Structure 1
């Protein structure tokens, strides 16, 4: 006869309501796609958040959760990386549509996909092939009066750099923003002259 479960091991109720990325996460989890949060949806999303260490793990179908799930899918599925050219050298892939960045050499990932924040409407991040021409670990923007840690410039004033602002709201002035920890790791990986490929359209922008 099985021993009874210790007290306190049952999952607490999941009470998050319907959120903006409900349908997308229902598709990701192969749940019935109706755009309405059910108790089963809430529990499934919460378990996904727990697996990916997304905080808060509350079962809410937020933009943050959706972007981190997309990053995980791109990491696991080579087919999800088709937009970025495969080259013999290192390419930093910036997908404006999905707001994800990764680095690959050939078909091998050398920097796992992470969420980013790119230029807002009217100040879009420039697309196409780019090249890192200057790096500055402790750069400060005199235009926007903000720190730009681990800055790697690729086109005029546009750069890859860290930010402590929310990556999942609004947009940058054209730069590719990363969480500071991700920007630090990317800074250590890339060298002056490394290539970037930027494509797609950020949702809510004109180009």
Structure 2
């Protein structure tokens, strides 16, 4: 404090006036009451957080910059992530269906010995049982219905079936007829589709499955004519029955084969064109005349 002597003034000479120096040293002015008495400065109490740091009361805590929540607090109301469920397999093929995809399913099952019948294109009981066994072996639901998971596993274990595997039991659609078959009366024989189509003036009358000679006794390709018909023929060379024989080239003939009917394409002829459907070859034998054309092509 500093004493100041007032030489001229209205109050008193030599009175000492208490002066509050404001702003000196950065201090804050102390309040006084109406009588001029100094009032105590009240300091707000402090609070201590659990971590031991003091924060003045009334001071709001700042949110955590990253989470947006108050530092040290666990976010509330945040939903727990729910894993996306695996979609259920969809039905790919089912019992009772028919068509090319069923035929492929059957051919693939034959490749890995789950089905022993020739593909028919019909999803019957034997196919259902084969699918059920395949599923059970691999820990899949053994429903007998081919779902997408079953189909993918089967495809991964097999190869794409050939046309002859798809039609090991016959029934291959006939190939486009050779142009030599489009006029007159013709036995149109395709090695590619393994079919014989009886054609009259360019129109197909009937079609049947056939098989040919082996690589050592091949069936000759070319254009021929029927020169002999023999209903109850027996081969003198092989001592084998050749009913409904239609000879067209040397000893080679179109005829019924009981072996072809029994074993399918597991065997071969000695050069003849074998037919396995006895009713069809009997009807053909009755319709064909000597001199009718025979065309054998690849």
Place the TM-score, normalised by the shorter chain, in its bin.
0.5 to 0.7
Q: Would you say the 8 A contact 2:191–2:297 is kept in 1?
A: yes
SS at match of 2:238: coil
Output the TM-score relative to the length of structure 2: 0.45
Please tell me whether Structure 1 or Structure 2 has the larger radius of gyration of its CA atoms: 2
SS at match of 1:81: coil
CA distance in 1, matches of 2:166, 2:259: 13
Output the TM-score relative to the length of structure 1: 0.63
Query: Which residue does the alignment assign to 2:208?
Result: 114
Name segments (4+ residues, structure 1) moved above 6 Å: 30-33
In the comparison of the two structures, how many residue pairs are matched? 158
Q: Displacement, 1:107? A: 3.0
Q: Residue by residue, what CA displacement relative to the aligned partner does 1:93-147 show, whole Å, maximum 9, x if unpaired?
A: 1111221111112331112x21111111111111110100001101111111111
Give unmatched runs, 5+ long, in structure 1. 1-9, 13-25, 51-55, 75-79, 201-207
Structure with higher RCO (Cα < 8 A, 6+ apart): 1
SS at match of 1:187: helix
Mapped pair 1:172 → 2:269: yes
What's the RMSD between the two structures over aligned residues?
A: 3.5
Mapped pair 1:142 → 2:142: no
Q: Would you say the 8 A contact 1:63–1:168 is kept in 2?
A: no
Match runs of 1:40-189 below 5 Å: 48-49=121-122, 58-59=126-127, 63=165, 65-66=167-168, 68-70=170-172, 73-74=173-174, 80-111=175-206, 113-166=207-260, 167-179=264-276, 180-189=278-287
Q: Displacement, 1:150? A: 0.6
Cα gap change, 1:192/1:30 in structure 2, threshold over 3 Å: closer, same or farther?
same
Give unmatched runs, 5+ long, in structure 2. 1-93, 110-114, 131-160
CA distance in 1, matches of 2:125, 2:217: 33
Cα gap change, 1:192/1:49 in structure 2, threshold over 3 Å: closer, same or farther?
farther
